[in-house]
Amino acid sequence: MQHVSTLRRWQRQVRRDRWLYLMLLPGVIYFLIYKYLPMWGVVISFQNYSPGLGLFQSEWVGLKHFERLFSEPTFWMLFRNTILLSVYQLIFFFPIPIVLALMLNELTQQAFKRFVQTVIYIPHFVSWVVIAGISYLFLTPEGGFVNELLGLLGQDKVNFLMSTEWFRTLQVTQVIWKEAGWGTIIFLAALAGVDTQLYEAARIDGANRWRQLWHITLPALRSTIVILFILRMGDIMEQGVEHILLLLNAVNREVGEVFDTYVYTVGLLQGNFSYSAAVGLFKSLVGLILVVAANYLAKKSGEEGVF
């Protein structure tokens, strides 16, 4: 009986909001066709996919490709490099947009604030190829600006681009240079939503700038920070493949090769579609587990999660 009434209520609701549902439809169709349908492609990671035979006739091989991945002698190197780069970014890159946003928020001159914002957004639109080119010009030992400067100061040349020690520093620095400004957008948006009455009240109570920042601004940002952190955990196995490929060379490969560049080598250059799909699926699984775990922990500690 209750079942019938639920159904009827649902029908009534759909009829009442039919235009809204119709507006929803394109989005739903988009996700079905372009996001959910291609997901079935992961079955090729359990097959020996051959383009001639197609998805349905290719031979099933079970977990063979996963076994190969885990028994690959370079597996732990790839794992370590990937995770280390991500952790470095969490430590050194992640806080920077927050600090930048807080600093921008303290500016009182609106025109100046907007100018600074625009300037720090620009690197986001510069492609990695250009950044790699600029880095080369600055850092090459053959007449690069930085090394010439070191030479003038009587120092030894440092081969930044061809060393295992500098690779991660260089990678993270480039990411910071390119993306830090762009990353402030979401925090600035969150800051714009803070009720100004809170600040007024705090001032009347005698709170100084630091106190206001600590007790009003940061708590207002907390949920945004947590959510972005959770999303970031999902990307822990991802590195910008284009960026890393441009930095990689024979000397730094042992610290620079990550899962994404590995997939590029075995998948695109060598044409092992199934194997690279298996590597991709493994990456996604790790990301999923981390997102769920981080989300669980966030909820446990009283924050709002992503889902």
* Interaction site with other proteins (CB under 8 A): 19-20, 22-23, 25-26, 29-30, 33, 50-54, 73-74, 136, 140-142, 159, 161-162, 249-251, 253, 265-273, 275
CB of 260 to other proteins, least distance (A): 15
Least distance from C-beta 54 to other proteins, angstroms?
7
Whichever of 51 and 193 has its CB closer to other proteins, that residue is: 51
CB 92 within 8 A of CB 178: no
Shortest Cβ 203–other proteins spacing (Å)? 44
CB-nearer residue toward other proteins: 51 or 302: 51
3-state SS string over the chain? CHHHHHHHHHHHHHHHCHHHHHHHHHHHHHHHHHHHHHHHHHHHHHEECCCCCHHHHCEECCCHHHHHHHHCCCHHHHHHHHHHHHHHHHHHHCHHHHHHHHHHHHCCCHHHHHHHHHHHHHHHHCCHHHHHHHHHHHHCCCCCHHHHHHHHCCCCCCCHHHCCCCHHHHHHHHHHHHHHHHHHHHHHHHHHCCCHHHHHHHHHCCCCHHHHHHHHHHHHHHHHHHHHHHHHHHCCCCCCHHHHHHHCCCCCHHHHCCHHHHHHHHHHHCCCHHHHHHHHHHHHHHHHHHHHHHHHHHHHCCCCCCC
Sign of the C-alpha dihedral computed for residues 225, 227, 228 and 232 taken in this order: positive
- Minimum CB distance to other proteins smaller for 115 or for 145: 145
Minimum distance between the CB of residue 51 and other proteins, rounded to whole angstroms?
5
Return d(Cα 97, Cα 183) in angstroms, integer. 5
CB of 277 to other proteins, least distance (A): 10
Residue among 105 and 135 whose Cβ is closer to other proteins: 135
48: phi then psi, degrees, rounded to nearest 5: -95, 80
Nearer to other proteins, 165 or 200 (CB): 165
Q: Whose Cβ is closer to other proteins: residue 22's or residue 204's?
A: 22
Nearer to other proteins, 185 or 266 (CB): 266
Q: What's the closest the beta carbon of residue 129 comes to other proteins, in angstroms?
A: 10
Residue among 43 and 162 whose Cβ is closer to other proteins: 162
Which residue from 95, 246, 97, 61 is spatially nearest to 183, judged by alpha carbons?
A: 97
What's the closest the beta carbon of residue 83 comes to other proteins, in angstroms? 21
- We find the least distance from the C-beta atom of residue 220 to other proteins, in angstroms, to be 34
